[in-house]
Amino acid sequence: MMSSGSAALLTEKRTESMKQTAKVNEQLFKVVSPLLQWYDSHARILPWRENPEPYAVWISEIMLQQTRVEAVKPYFDRWMKAYPDLSSLAGADEEEVLKLWEGLGYYSRVRNIHKAARLVMKNHGGSLPPSFSGLLRLPGIGEYTAGAIGSIAFRLPVPCVDGNVLRVVARLTAEKADVSTAAAKKQFTEWVAAIIPTERPGDFNQAMMELGATVCLPNGFPKCELCPVSFLCEARLQNCVTEFPVKSARPARKVEKRTVLVLLDETGSVLKTALRRRPDRGLLAGLWEFPNVEGELSAEEVSQILHSAGLTSPALVKLKKAKHIFTHIQWEMTGYLAVVDHAASLPGASEKADSDLHWVGIDQLETKLALPAAFKPYYQNIKCFINKELRYESN
């Protein structure tokens, strides 16, 4: 049972929290009008804003996760030409969808888009559900994406708080809570939800994100002189803008050494290369890759492995090293190219049929099979081989 002293302390904390929330809401509410006026004249012209119907908003928001706006534009245009509506997307083959996404990374995003499209066709008559809760039930749609689709496409007064909005709110309020924590994100989301104008919820959410993306920039480089609400910004008034947002340091990425094998078969009429599928779970789940093994292997070690896999007389070319950075892991890769005879298996491939080696024509890599960006430098080596332009390091 709670003591009277503990109960009084809890009541006091709640009262202080309520006072702080009321003060912040009053301050942030003053931002709404000047921010919307600024957005009306400064919003970037983006293809998904031209016709903000639910499907287009959904696709653009998923593409924009972890990806720059300029990088997304050509992908969005290409996607909408290939799949102009939910029906065409739902009926598409997964391999085809993955290929169209190639280069955007984080492939679980597009797999969830594909799954969600089929669920919408099956359970919602081909239209995205027009409610926040209904959107949340679809694969790959979290609170931020549901808020974006809901407010922009369906005019629902719901917040969508991304990294840009967290930064803007942290500076406007000089709030020292760590924005990396769930508690801070929840608090900031509640503050934004309290001030959303019911007549323009989508514009307001986009204005907040636009301000963070173009003016209230990260890493100590905000353009306060261009900010339409700088006169309301606590961090600027206190001359400490670069101290916000408060964010805990990310743990250092794990570095993994890998040796990639680019194996070519010239015995038939079509030049082929060896690919295999990655496991269904984990990094780059279920995607195609060039065979690779852990560690930085010498040419002698690679020759021994290939020989044990049944490959005859491979002449190895050591390729230039490459690096690829994932969210939590960094691959430092050494590569070898060899023209070989067909083999039934490769190092690292298990006995399961779905992870066996596949020999595919080079044209299939161009038109049908998605290859993760980590392996793109080695695909370029194949092109150089074909054009007799291969540059390589000596062994």
Q: Flag whether pLDDT at 395 surpasses 50.
A: no
Q: Average pLDDT of 229-257? A: 94
User: Hey, what domains does the chain have and what are their CATH numbers?
Assistant: 4-243 (1.10.340.30), 254-386 (3.90.79.10)
**Residue 310 pLDDT class (50, 70, 90 cuts):** confident
pLDDT score at 355 = 41
Sequence letter at residue 40: D
Please identify every residue annotated as catalytic.
Answer: 61
Query: What is the rounded CA–CA span in Å between residue 142 and residue 158?
Result: 13
% of residues, the chain, pLDDT over 70? 89
Query: What is the rounded CA–CA span in Å between residue 231 and residue 253?
Result: 39
**Residue 392 pLDDT class (50, 70, 90 cuts):** low
pLDDT score at 250 = 85
Q: Give the range among 190-199, 219-228, 283-292, 348-357 with minimum mean pLDDT.
A: 348-357
